[in-house]
Each structure stands twice: as C-alpha cells, then as structure tokens.
Amino acid sequence: MKKIGMIGGDLRNRYLAEMLTEEGYEVSTYGLTDEENELSDVVKRSDYIISGIPFSQDNRMIQAPFSKNEISIEEVFSFLSKEKTFFAGSMKPEIKERFKDSEIRYYDFLEDERTTIMNVIPTVEGAIEFAIRNTDFTLFDSDILILGYGRIGKYLGRVLKALGAKVRVAVRKESDLSWVSLEGNQALSYEQLNAVLNQFDVIFNTVPALVLKEEQIRLLKKSCFIIDLASKPGGVDFESAKKYGIEANLVLGLPGKTAPKSAAKYMFEFFEKCIK
C-alpha cells in the first residue's frame, strides 16, 4: 500500500485526502486536520508528500491555513530523502532548484496543462460570484473590462457575454484582437485604455504585472468595482485606488474557496497520472 503524507494546504487538500483514502492509500496529515501527527513522522513514513496550491507565498513557510503552527520549508526539507516524491502547486523557481539540488523528484500541479485549464473554471465562477455578491447592480448590461487574454481572461469573457454583459478585453497581441471579436466581445489595445476607462462598471484584472497605475485609476468612475485575480502583488495600484475612493479587491485562491471538491478531483487525477 502506497503511503501519502499531506502537509499544509487548504480545503482542496482536505478533499484530496478523503479521495486518496477512499482509493485505498494510507494517508497521514500535518497542518491540515484537527488530528495531527508529528511532521517528521508524516514525512519519513510516506512515499509521496503532497502540499498545497500555492506551496508558499514567501519561500519560507508552507501555505497552511488550518495549521496551528507555521510550517517551515527548511524543516520539511530536513526530513526529506531521495526516495520521496513531492507534489505541490505554484512552486517558485528557487524551491524547484532546491528539489533538483537535493535530487528529490517533484511535480507541480500547475505545470500540468489539464489541471491548470480545469482550475480556470472555479476561478471564473468564483470571480463572477464575488462581483455579484459585492455590487448593487446586475452584470447584465454592465460595462465590463477584462485586462489580459490568457486562460482566465478568455473563459471569463465568454461567461460574462453569456450573462448579457457588455465586455471589452484589453490585449497585447495583434492576433488576439481578432479572436476577441470572433467571440462577440470588443477588443482594445492597452494604448486605447485611457480614453475609455471612465466607462466601466467592473474591471477584472488577470495580468500579473502592474497595469492599473495611478494615472489609469484616477480616470475611473468612483463607482467602478475592481477585482484583481493576478498572483500577488497583483496588477492594481491599491494605494491609488484607496486614494481615489475606488473599491479594489485582490481575490486569490478561488478554486480552493469556491469549488474545493472539484479542484481536489483535478489534483487527484494528476497525482495518479504521475505515479503510474
């Protein structure tokens, strides 16, 4: 029987632990449930170690919202050996280098194309739910701007259009201008943004770089509602938004908040594919 150690993680990892147990794996946890083992025991007894998405925000501590104590990456490494295989998501390059230098096999959930694509679904559903819950108007007939045309931007544009929103998408590639139009939305270049920024009711940012600076934010309507989905620090000057009285929210980890069971299923499928 393969033994699995779960270290940290959010609700996705709790569901994943249940799925693995139901499939006959022997699962022990640390920093995930109320009934905990010793960290050293969890690592040493396990063939596979699974952590969360993202693995860490600061490259020092493992993301572990259910843990009573902080879990040091350094401490985990002190118990790892070459016989182990490690799974986590969105690991920083420095962490991956550490695994390579230690000759420990590792897999990043978000380097798997299917897992990444399927995580777009709960991200988009969660972003739209957040917008609906925190505004006093319908998305139908609202003027909405999406910054970025990656996986999330593409699917978000399709769903918002289906809800009856008037969607414009800011893109950098010339070819994307045509793709956005083919989907029935309006494409903008970033050079055109300043001229139309005062028209939007909601802005969704998906670009992991500063795109809404003070010079753009001061052009927005006071009632504009901003949802930043990009990884920290996001793509919005939040201090400027506060200065001009515009509500801006950095909304991260939506798969783990809005659809943790579905997200866990994608993680489970990736795990089984890797070990087979």
Same domain, 10 and 49: yes
Helix (H) or strand (E) holding 102: none
Residue 269 lies in a domain: no
Answer yes or no: are the C-beta atoms of 243 and 220 closer than 8 Å. no
Domain boundary among 78, 111, 144: 111
Query: How confident is the model at residue 35, as a pLDDT?
Result: 73
Same domain, 183 and 90: no
Same domain, 134 and 206: yes
Same domain, 170 and 58: no
Residue 161: both structure tokens together: 């259009």
Same domain, 105 and 228: no
CATH code for the domain in which residue 14 is found: 3.40.50.720
Residue 72 lies in a domain: yes
Helix (H) or strand (E) holding 226: strand 225-228
User: Per the structure, how many domains does the chain have?
Assistant: 2
CA 133 and chain centroid, separation = 20
d(CA 199, CA 231): 26
Residue 275 lies in a domain: no
Answer yes or no: are the C-beta atoms of 107 and 87 closer than 8 Å. yes
Q: Among candidates 275, 276, 252, which has minimal Cα distance to 50?
A: 275
For the chain, the residue count is 276
Q: Three-class SS of residue 171?
A: strand
181 CB-near residues (< 8 Å, 6+ apart): 187
138 C-beta neighbours (distance < 10 Å), count: 12
Residue 274 lies in a domain: no
Q: To the nearest 10°, the Cα dihedral for 144, 145, 146, 147?
A: -160
Domain boundary among 111, 142, 158: 111
Residue 56 lies in a domain: yes
Q: To the nearest 10°, the Cα dihedral for 40, 45, 47, 51?
A: -40
Query: What are the CA-CA distances from residue 240 to residues 182, 232, 237, 244 (Å)?
Result: 35, 17, 5, 6
Per-residue pLDDT tens digits for 95-154: 999 999 999 999 999 999 899 899 999 999 999 999 999 999 999 999 999 999 999 999
d(CA 202, CA 117): 24
Q: Among candidates 82, 81, 88, 84, which has minimal Cα distance to 31?
A: 88
Query: How confident is the model at residue 68, as a pLDDT?
Result: 87
Residue type for position 94: E
Same domain, 59 and 152: no
Same domain, 227 and 248: yes
Residue 90: both structure tokens together: 């969105």
Same domain, 28 and 65: yes
Query: How confident is the model at residue 234, as a pLDDT?
Result: 86
Residue 261 lies in a domain: no
Its domain, for residue 237, covers: 116-256
Domain boundary among 111, 144, 168: 111
Query: How confident is the model at residue 231, as a pLDDT?
Result: 82
Same domain, 101 and 124: no
d(CA 39, CA 119): 29
Residue 265 lies in a domain: no
Percent of the chain clearing pLDDT 70 (strictly above): 100
Query: Tens digit of pLDDT per residue, the chain (276 long)?
Result: 789 999 999 999 999 999 999 999 999 999 998 777 889 999 999 999 999 999 998 999 999 999 988 999 999 999 999 999 999 999 999 999 999 999 999 999 999 989 989 999 999 999 999 999 999 999 999 999 999 999 999 999 999 999 999 999 999 988 898 899 989 999 999 999 999 999 999 999 999 999 999 999 999 999 999 999 998 788 999 999 999 999 999 998 898 899 999 999 999 999 999 988
Same domain, 126 and 225: yes
Residue 266 lies in a domain: no
Same domain, 129 and 201: yes
Task: Give the angle 19-71-126 at the CA atoms, nearest 5°.
Answer: 50
Same domain, 105 and 143: no
